[in-house]
Amino acid sequence: MWKSTREAVEMKAMNIYGIREGVRDVRDVKKEKNVKNVKKGWWGLIVWLLMLTFLAGPAVGQNKLQQSAGGYHGELDFPWSWKRYYSYAEWTQMMKEIAKKYPDLASVESIGKSQMGRDQLLITITNKKTGDHSAKTAMWVDGAIHGNEVNGINCSLYLMWYLLTRYDYDPYVFNMVNDRTFYILPGLNVDANASYVEYPNTENNPREPYRPEDDDNDGLYDEDRTEDVDGDGELSMMYAVDPKGDLKLSPDKRQFISIGDEKDYPGLRYRRIGTEGFDNDGDGQINEDDIGGPDPNRNYAYGWNLRDGNPYPMSEPCTRNAYNAMLARPNIFVSFHYHNTGRLIMFTAPQPMPQQSAQQSQRSQQEREFGQRGTVQERLAEMRKINKYAQLFDRQVASEFQHDLDVQTSIVTAGARILKDYTPTFSGLSGQAQATSYNMLGNYAYLIELWGNPTYEADLNGDNKVSDEEYMKWIDIELTGDGWINPHPFKHPDLGEIWIGGSGKKHVGRTPPSRYIETEADRNAHFVMYCVNQFPKVQVADISTTPEGDDLYWVDVTVRNESTYPTASDRSKKLERIKKDKLVISTSDKIQVISLNEKLPFNDPAQGFRNAHNPGLGKETELWLKGNDSQTFRYLIKKSGGKGWIEAEIISERGGKDKKRLTIKD
Amino acid sequence: MKKLMICVFCISFIVGFVAHAQKVPINFDKYHGFTGSESFLKAVSNAYPDITDLRVIGKSTMDRPVYVLIISNKKTGTPLDRFVQLRNPRQEPVDNVPPMTNDQAKPGHWICGSTHGNEFTGTEVCLYTINKLVTGYGSDTEITDLIDRNSFYICPIVNPDGVYNSVEKDLSQRGNSLMKDDDHDGKINEDGPDDLDGDGRITSFRYKDPKGQYIQDEVDPRIMISLGEKDKTDKQRWSVIREDKDNDGDGKRGEDSEQGFDLNRNFPEVWFDDNGYQGGTGDYPTSATEVQALAEFFSTHHNIMMAQFYHTSGGFTYRPMGVSSDVTMHPKDIAVYDLIMGKKYVEMMGDDMPKAWMYPDSIGDYKKDLEAKSGNKFAAARGYEMPRTWVVHYNEKENKRYGFGLQSDWAYQEMGIYSITTELFNYRMDLPGNTFTGDDAYTLFQHAALKYQQAKANGAWFQDWKPFKHPELGDGEIGGWYPQYQSNAFPGEILEKICETHWLYEKYRASLLPHAVVTEAKGKVVEKAGSYRIIEVTAKVENTGKLATNLTRGAELPGNRPDVVWLIGDRDNVSFIQGLAWQKAGVLDGTMSIPGFPKGKTSNEVKWLVKVRGNTPLKVVVSSMKGGTNAKDVEIN
């Protein structure tokens, strides 16, 4: 008990230290202190001193640190229910209000207007006092590019709310909001989002932005939309009684099911007509030209094609505004794009190697790495004996993109753990936001397919699937009967006597019912935060000297990035969007750095006559730090006179800065 | 009372006189630039409200409007949405579909200029074309017919900022303007070219420089001759730069100007290179507001079937493609382009016509001939090499693309439009009484051009060199052609001749447009009862225009629907027994024969069996995306 409290306080002290010093890694400080092995009794005093310094100083502080995992973490500071869906007016109002409550941490702005003139609100979250949002490495999150996939809005809003309400209580959030920037666009396709929540719709519609489109090629645009024919507030299915129909009512009279092999089924038979609606244009068809233009997630530029993404790339105000907003924020490093459904962590992987080169080796890169230890599948099975979330992908990429694939593999492995029963997989390329984010901007990009069949709750026979019967049981038990529209007869003005019903209500299929919203949003917020926590953070890990004799010294400088993400993705290097990391050496007056030859091996007995380190060639070295990378540079210095110092500073566009100074005595 | 009568008479006489004269006078003795074009467009749209409509389709970076003048009789062409009665609408009030306008119910013809800001000869041709159309309406039957049956969409300036800078500021600017920090120094557009001598124009600065790449012309030392990199000379070498100095003290001149990027590389067709990296310009295809304005206008005006994107210079026309070869085009579209449109253009330009165009029946022989002789496999496949004045961008000899993201390629491939790009003005041939050939053609032209501008403009187009001490480069001279006269057709007779030729050429192309018409609509009563009749309706729809109602490429495109025929009647009194309310008529071929291709059907017959109560009238409407909408009442016997 005492120990854990002590550690929490220690953590906090170190956080403060980290912030005040700018870029030092918390873990490193911890190690240093441990090495010093200070007696326990002294700790309290040190912490107190640090806290006093902090309280006296101008730096930002965490006022209400919550040390107990079971304690209050600020969730009622901005009370909000995560057990329902909200209208556009409600959730945009909430964004404005929460930004007003946390003015030092959040700003809301409109990045543009949708087709129908709705503002697309973006919230920027970072501690404004520790630096401008644009100066920090950033996470982009957008939700609900598909109008009906509004659980993406809730997940985005939840992340926003979690970061802001917990900031004062939770050191993890506190650090993250101080050091990094979050750009969150909860609803991307706001017109269709608004309609989905506020009007009768099926779980699948409306999906696209509202560009008029002539789906049925009759010369008119969006002229035959869906209608809630029976006025019950839900958009269900219509069925006609038909002696040749292939459907019958289920025994419990709640569903229309197949007559199956009973070709001579004697009872009442039905035929499915389609979604509820009228024949608006009198052409004998119903709902054949519903509202909606191109698929917005085929409307991005990368891999765009005319058939799916028409009429032209970035043609829709909502997608164009979102992408322009990303372009205007070049500090974005990772992007998340929420969709439903299917519980997938889709990520943009580097393109596979061209056929020609791939044929040279039948086995994938990763297979070769594992040598003779079997195929990817066998190896994965082996790995999963230790970690059931382990991931491995059968894709051979060009060697210059291998690190991106490795990094993504590592991140989605953690994602699978955090999100539970989500499956990591590659995402598509054709005009999709995440593909464009990776391939054109160089960001690590993820498409999350939220929710899906509640297999873990509904599957009774353990076949990992949900049958119709199991699904109905889930409706009855977990949803306590709510969520189903029973078949009922109705007199339709165009069709005469028909039946309507036999389908789930709107928030039962692709968007989770209320009681499941929060769990899903919470896990997803944690995955986003995990990724931010893995943003690169460079450090000068070590600087040490070895006398060479006379007044010459070898100086070894080790720079390190312990995060999973490198300081630049392989793709962004190709796109030349990020400057290389820089290692800068400076010295006191009487110390001189001697130029070394890049090509010759070190003649260094201690290292055994081998080319042990990168030769430190001059005062400035350019390098890339990968994820979990450590590189040592060896300099030769000449010291004339007495005491002096040498300082190494690592400067990274995405990974921050760090420096260390070493004093060399006589 | 008598006085008043006289007054009224006088006024009506004056009004009548003015009406017959040119309501909005225009001449081509000088360039109109952005300001002049804008005021002309506004004046024309005010003076001819029945046949014109001025639209702003987008804004440039500097907030200048991109205008399109629609020229079409507003009383003709009823769009389909006026005929079809909708009922039981969805309760959710989403008003995302604007009512169709009359112009959209007629075949569209797009003409634009100045995608490149410094290539504004096309702007003048657009203004000339507008003038010809609006003044010819009502007096010239051919023009009247074109405006009654078609819609012209004329966008004189695609790149307003580029034109404004090139003409009004005499600062040649090809690309658009962008608020962009080109040199990454934290400041935006802080170091563009400078008007060093304060005359309001950006000409050239020349100075003696042993490493210079220019020498003075022997005949006329005002002319600077560019040397090849390896050329040797004993003469004084010069360097020639734009009037410019280092404004921000970073040691560089003109490194962060207002100039953005080339708009004619920002279109979606093959914008990416083969490895999935940026090939064209801008952050993404259509990223430029000006390009998006065009893309959006085309996407909401699917009736456009002809497009001309004027550029300068060269005196020839590009037909697609440039980003890819002929292989990506349908052979029939190529035949329409080359053997119909190209043939006319080559004729008008007085160029040598390929034999295969004159004798298309023997095209097989020409193909064999070329297979044996020509290294150009595309020419062999066609049966002809492209003539000088009708060419493709694509480098057929080396089988290499010309570039990425070209507007004309996009219009053909993604919109299904007969698009072309004419490079107006040919310095070798367009100076009256002169033809310049050979290696020094340009120098010879310069000699003649300097004399020409002396005679015609009293020397106002060229600034004679005068000494100037440059703050960084020291002594030298400022002078040279004022940029607006450097590469565009000279104002006056030369410009007018080009305008006339190209207006006539586009008028010819307009005459090729398809026209879907209901030529017959008859009803036969097959059953009669007290309250209703069962009627068999037969309609014949026909394309009376010269070209088919879709390009072959167009017919393959999503969003380029086939022609449809609707039977319209009051929904409470008409029910369909057989045949849906609308039926597909497919693509109707035109009246013109396309050499090498069999003639398709120009008409189609559609039938319905309907139950009609009372004397409810019936109407047949044909709606062709590119061939117009046309209606006819059903005659019931």
For residue B111, what is the enclosing H or E element? strand B108-112
Closest by Cβ to B580, choosing from A223, A278, A284? A284
| B85 contacts on A by Cβ (under 8 Å) | 282
The residue behind tokens 């300097």 is B450
B163 found inside a domain: no
Q: Is the preceding peptide bond at A311 cis, omega within 30 degrees of 0?
A: yes
| A301 contacts on B by Cβ (under 8 Å) | 271, 284-285
Closest by Cβ to A220, choosing from B84, B414, B562? B84
B511 found inside a domain: no
Closest by Cβ to A327, choosing from B91, B283, B566? B283
Q: CA Rg, chain A, in Å?
A: 30
- Selection from A214, A235, A217, A239 nearest residue A226 by Cα: A235
pLDDT digits (tens, 9 = 90+) for A180-199: 999 999 999 999 999 999 99
d(CA A304, CA A312): 8
C-beta of residue A406 within 8 angstroms of C-beta of residue A397? no
d(CA A209, CA A189): 6
Query: Is the pLDDT score of B184 beyond 80?
Result: yes
B85 contact A CB<8A: yes
Query: Is the pLDDT score of A603 beyond 70?
Result: no
Closest by Cβ to B558, choosing from A281, A307, A440? A307
B478 and B529 housed in the same domain: no
Closest by Cβ to B88, choosing from A195, A227, A283? A227
d(CA A64, CA A82): 24
Query: Is the pLDDT score of B164 beyond 60?
Result: yes
CATH of the domain at B539: 2.60.40.10
CA distance B90 to chain A (A): 5
Q: Which residue in A218, A315, A401 has the most chain B C-beta atoms within 10 A of its own C-beta, making it the best mutation to test that interface? A: A218
For chain A, helix (H) and strand (E) counts, in that order, are: 18, 25
Range of the domain at B531: 516-636
CA distance B297 to chain A (A): 11
- Selection from A555, A536, A557, A579 nearest residue A648 by Cα: A557
The structure tokens listed for A452 are 């899906």
**CB burial string B87-113: b at 16+ within 10 A, e below:** eeebebebebbeebbbbbbbbbbbbbb
Which residues have C-beta within 8 Å of that of residue B225, sequence separation ≥ 6? Answer: B214, B215, B216, B217, B443
Which residues have C-beta within 8 Å of that of residue A6, sequence separation ≥ 6? Answer: A43
CA distance A225 to chain B (A): 7
Closest by Cβ to B96, choosing from A115, A228, A439? A115
B561 and B450 housed in the same domain: no
**Number of compact structural domains in chain B:** 2
The structure tokens listed for A475 are 């409706």
B578 contact A CB<8A: no
Q: What is the ipTM of this complex?
A: 0.94
A210: nearest CA partner in chain B? B96
B465 found inside a domain: yes
CATH placement of domain A538-664: 2.60.40.10
pLDDT-above-70 percentage for chain A = 86
- Selection from B412, B440, B443, B445 nearest residue B428 by Cα: B445
| A88 contacts on B by Cβ (under 8 Å) | none
CA distance A222 to chain B (A): 7
Across the interface, whether the CB atoms of A493 and B88 are under 8 A apart is answered yes
CA distance B299 to chain A (A): 6
HSE value, Cβ hemisphere, 13 Å, CA-based, for B266: 26
Looking at residue B401, what is its pLDDT?
97
B587 found inside a domain: yes
The residue behind tokens 């090809």 is B174
Across the interface, whether the CB atoms of A217 and B564 are under 8 A apart is answered yes
pLDDT digits (tens, 9 = 90+) for A76-88: 999 999 999 999 9
The residue behind tokens 């557009």 is B189
For CA atoms A101, A103, A107, A108, give the dihedral sign. positive
CA distance B484 to chain A (A): 34
Which residues on adjacent β-strands are paired with residue A278?
A: none
Residue B301 CB neighbour total at 10 angstroms = 19
Looking at residue A22, what is its pLDDT?
37
| B558 contacts on A by Cβ (under 8 Å) | 306-307, 310
Residue A651 CB neighbour total at 10 angstroms = 18
B571 and B462 housed in the same domain: no
Mean pLDDT of A501-520: 94
B145 found inside a domain: no
Q: Are strands A503-504 and A484-485 parallel, antiparallel or unpaired?
A: antiparallel
B230 found inside a domain: yes
CA distance A529 to chain B (A): 29
pLDDT digits (tens, 9 = 90+) for B579-628: 999 999 999 999 999 999 999 999 999 999 999 999 999 999 999 999 99
The structure tokens listed for B320 are 């697609």
Selected residues 555-574 of chain B with any CB under 8 Å from a CB in chain A: 557-559, 561-562, 564, 566, 571
- With cut-offs at 50, 70 and 90, classify the pLDDT of residue A641: confident
d(CA B24, CA B21): 9
B162 found inside a domain: no
Query: Is the pLDDT score of A230 beyond 80?
Result: yes
B552 and B597 housed in the same domain: yes
B460 and B556 housed in the same domain: no
Across the interface, whether the CB atoms of A323 and B582 are under 8 A apart is answered no
Q: Rounded to 5 degrees, what are φ and ψ at A548? A: -100, -15
B10 contact A CB<8A: no
pLDDT digits (tens, 9 = 90+) for B467-483: 999 999 999 999 999 99
- With cut-offs at 50, 70 and 90, classify the pLDDT of residue A5: very low
Q: Which residue in A114, A232, A312, A351 has the most chain B C-beta atoms within 10 A of its own C-beta, making it the best mutation to test that interface? A: A312
Q: Where are the alpha helices (DSSP H) in B91-217?
A: 121-136, 141-149, 160-163
Crossing angle of the two packed helices B493-510 and B121-136, in degrees rounded to 10: 60
Selected residues 583-612 of chain B with any CB under 8 Å from a CB in chain A: 584
Closest by Cβ to B96, choosing from A226, A291, A574? A291
- Selection from A584, A582, A586, A585 nearest residue A654 by Cα: A582
Q: Are strands A644-652 and B224-226 parallel, antiparallel or unpaired?
A: unpaired
B226 found inside a domain: yes
Query: Is the pLDDT score of A612 beyond 60?
Result: no
Domain ranges of chain A: 2-56, 212-291+467-507, 538-664
Mean pLDDT of B102-113: 98
